[in-house]
Amino acid sequence: MHRTTNTNAMLLLRHCRCLTRVGLLKTQRVQLLQGVALPVAVCSSHRGHKSGQYQRSHGPNWRHALAGLLAGTGAVLAYGLHHSQTEQAATTIVQPIAPASSLPIYTQDEVTKHRSVEEGVWVTYKGSVYDITEFVSMHPGGDKILLAAGGALEPFWALYAVHSQDHVLEILSEYKVGELSAEDRRMQQSVKSTDPYSTDPERHPALRINSLKPFNAEPPAEILSDNYITPSAIFFKRNHLPVPQVDPKSYRLQVEGVPGGAPLSLSLEELKTCFPKHTVTATLQCAGNRRSEMNKVKQVKGLNWGIAAISNATWSGARLKDVLLAAGYMPEVVRQTSHVQFEGLDSDVTGTTYGASIPLNKAVSEEGDVLLAYQMNGEDLPADHGYPVRVVVPGTVGARNVKWLGKIIVSEEESSSHWQQNDYKGFSPATDWDTVDFKSAPAIQELPIQSAITQPAEGAVVERSAEEVTVKGYAWSGGGREVVRVDVSLDGGRTWQVAQLQSSEKGQVPAPSPPPGRAWAWKLWELTAPLPPAAQELEIVCKAVDNSYNMQPDSVAPIWNLRGVLSNAWHRVKVTVKEDEEEQKLL
């Protein structure tokens, strides 16, 4: 799916490019900027910023916008906007761009003076100088583009590999205004741009990669349900930034903000030895799991996950509750509406770390089972999963299970991070990027009931002679709500059969039923049913029910949302029934 979507988007871009061969001189662009009220970029994470506000926005707020760029499809959309705006201008002012050789030479000092919309926003790339003032409001990653203002693009593009595409260079070329002086070019080349992803770990070749930098990948669906406990190597990976290199010897976990308590700093050894080790089997799911099905309805912004951005593992570590008590947590002192914020050690070029928060009541509940985990499936956490320490918040969306944990802060406020405030929230299908108000929706915490079919795969062929078909899949619900039933249909949802549920590895004694509200792990399920006579095609559908009797919605369109999260409609797979040759002859 990912490839298909990108191909379509590329075709669209090529079409736009044909219409915009004719560019503008810089002065004309400035006139355009002043004379035309530019629409705010559709994909900016910070909507409502006027160009005049750019400088004032250089506070912590704009840093959170950094995450927006990671949404590859959104970027493509924004580049589309860039082109349509250029096209609009081109119809009124048609004048060929001056050839490169006739452009002036600038020194780095001159470039450095252009760091604001008022003064113009200039950048350099491979020895050329570009005035991107006009592009700033169209930049898919929002105004974080101003980080590069007055300097080189290379280190930023190294961080966000989405820029390594031909059409990005093509867009850039239209803004070229000069060449960098020979001396400054030599200086620049001596500062080698390093790839912050160069120290990322090796990954299992079976993984299906959605984005390489940062690394985002899921296992093939058909092997996902082979194990009740997903092997760590194929457990889905969802990184927002480069994997940080953490030295376990010098590692410290900071705990702050506990009312009436004192800041606490723990070594890895202290975390392991001063607190009881607690083990929980918990399923983690990305909010964007099954986003590709929403993309089929209407393009959304985000990684194009299939059905396998979900996995199940056994996690061991200290209870967050115990660590908070050690830091002086007293229930009677802390407001019930407080939050526990987490900061990762993964950061972008500006030093902004990944961050998220959960409600305090989940963090301190005896039955919340929130862990500061240092083991996954009985071994040290793998680098991709947060070595040496990550948060595991059972029943809660993956995004709050902060990896490479550096800091814990008890606060009356939620995390101010981009991912808590302006991402990972659900909206009505009526809400688009022009009308969305991220403040109007709660940050996703518990996830709704979910299930999907892992076998057979879409388009598979079932032999009529087999007489029956076996359907397999997974089912899980957030908030510790236990899956109590999975219904499977072979006829598109007209009639249903109840699948067998499996809550341990096949052949092993099933685990005892978890206490109420603490069913953190998925159930695998399986149904073997006779092939319906005469059917040439089966539309296999599954839907699960949890013990609060929440059901999955029937269809995707009514739950479609602009970020493509919470995609939990009935899962549908079409397979073909192949008649035996003998029978085919008779037909």
Closest distance to a copy of itself from the beta carbon of 518 (Å): 9
From 226, 256, 446, 491, residue interacting with a copy of itself (rule: CB under 8 A): 446
From 34, 92, 198, 336, residue interacting with a copy of itself (rule: CB under 8 A): 336
Q: Is 400 exposed, middle or buried (CB count within 10 Å of its CB: 0-12, 13-18, 19+)?
A: buried
Q: Is 498 in the site for a copy of itself (CB under 8 A)?
A: yes
- Give strand pairing partners of 116: 120
Structure-block tokens of residue 461: 């062929």
Closest distance to a copy of itself from the beta carbon of 230 (Å): 23
φ/ψ (deg, to 5) at 396: -115, 150
Closest distance to a copy of itself from the beta carbon of 448 (Å): 4
Distances (CA, A) of 339 to 16, 227, 234, 367, 376: 47, 35, 32, 17, 26
Closest distance to a copy of itself from the beta carbon of 410 (Å): 15
Q: How many CB atoms lie within 10 A of CB 455?
A: 19
Q: Is 513 exposed, middle or buried (CB count within 10 Å of its CB: 0-12, 13-18, 19+)?
A: exposed
Q: Is 436 in the site for a copy of itself (CB under 8 A)?
A: no
E strand or H helix at 115 = strand 115-116
Residue type, 127: G
Residues 248-307 that bind a copy of itself (CB under 8 A): none
Structure-block tokens of residue 288: 């964007």
Closer to a copy of itself by Cβ: residue 304 or 567: 567
Query: Taking CA 300 as the corner, what is the angle to CA 494 and CA 72, rounded to the nearest 5 degrees?
Result: 135
Number of residues that bind a copy of itself (CB under 8 A): 50
Q: Is 449 in the site for a copy of itself (CB under 8 A)?
A: yes
Interface region with a copy of itself, contact rule CB under 8 A, candidates 175-183, 209-217, 548-556, 572-580? 548-556
Interface region with a copy of itself, contact rule CB under 8 A, candidates 107-115, 278-286, 309-317, 421-429? 421-429
Q: Is 325 in the site for a copy of itself (CB under 8 A)?
A: no
Closer to a copy of itself by Cβ: residue 153 or 519: 519
Closest distance to a copy of itself from the beta carbon of 398 (Å): 14
Closest distance to a copy of itself from the beta carbon of 540 (Å): 14
From 30, 223, 429, 464, residue interacting with a copy of itself (rule: CB under 8 A): 429
Closer to a copy of itself by Cβ: residue 83 or 362: 362
Active-site residue set: 139, 163, 238, 286, 424
Interface region with a copy of itself, contact rule CB under 8 A, candidates 1-9, 72-80, 229-237, 437-445? 437-445
Structure-block tokens of residue 262: 């004192």
Q: Is 95 exposed, middle or buried (CB count within 10 Å of its CB: 0-12, 13-18, 19+)?
A: exposed
Of residues 305, 335, 358, the one with CA closest to residue 72: 305
Closest distance to a copy of itself from the beta carbon of 489 (Å): 8
- Kindly give, in sequence order, each residue whose CB lies less than 8 Å from that of residue 144, ignoring residues fewer than 6 positions away: 62, 63, 65, 66, 68, 69, 350
Q: Is 558 in the site for a copy of itself (CB under 8 A)?
A: yes
Closer to a copy of itself by Cβ: residue 41 or 544: 544
Closest distance to a copy of itself from the beta carbon of 479 (Å): 6
Residues 337-376 that bind a copy of itself (CB under 8 A): 337, 359, 361-362, 367
Tell me if 547 sits within 8 A of 519, measured CB to CB.
Answer: yes
Interface region with a copy of itself, contact rule CB under 8 A, candidates 23-31, 45-53, 165-173, 482-490? 482-490
Tell me if 218 sits within 8 A of 167, measured CB to CB.
Answer: no
Q: Is 495 in the site for a copy of itself (CB under 8 A)?
A: yes
Q: Is 431 in the site for a copy of itself (CB under 8 A)?
A: yes
From 349, 484, 531, 535, residue interacting with a copy of itself (rule: CB under 8 A): 484
Greatest extent of the chain over all pairs of C-alpha atoms, in Å: 84
Structure-block tokens of residue 324: 């908070």
The Cα–Cα gap between 65 and 418 comes to: 6
Q: Is 559 in the site for a copy of itself (CB under 8 A)?
A: yes
CA atoms within 13 A on the CB side of 107: 3
From 222, 496, 529, 578, residue interacting with a copy of itself (rule: CB under 8 A): 496
DSSP string, 217-234: EE--HHHHTT-SSPPGGG
Q: Is 487 in the site for a copy of itself (CB under 8 A)?
A: yes
Q: Is 553 in the site for a copy of itself (CB under 8 A)?
A: yes
In the block, which residue shows the tokens 């190597």? Answer: 233
Asked if the bond preceding 214 is cis, omega within 30° of 0, the reply is yes
- Give strand pairing partners of 461: 576
- Give strand pairing partners of 379: 376
Structure-block tokens of residue 97: 């761009």
- Kindly give, in sequence order, each residue whose CB lies less than 8 Å from that of residue 118, ignoring residues fewer than 6 positions away: 52, 55
Structure-block tokens of residue 562: 């602009």
DSSP code, position 494: S
Closest distance to a copy of itself from the beta carbon of 442 (Å): 5
**x/- contact string, 511-540, with a copy of itself (CB under 8 A)?**
--x-xxx-----------------------
Closest distance to a copy of itself from the beta carbon of 483 (Å): 11
Tell me if 532 sits within 8 A of 488, measured CB to CB.
Answer: no
Q: Is 23 in the site for a copy of itself (CB under 8 A)?
A: no
Q: Is 413 in the site for a copy of itself (CB under 8 A)?
A: no
Which residues make up the interface to a copy of itself (CB under 8 A)? 336-337, 359, 361-362, 367, 426, 428-431, 441-442, 444-449, 478-479, 481-482, 484-485, 487, 493, 495-498, 513, 515-517, 543, 545, 547-555, 558-559, 566, 568
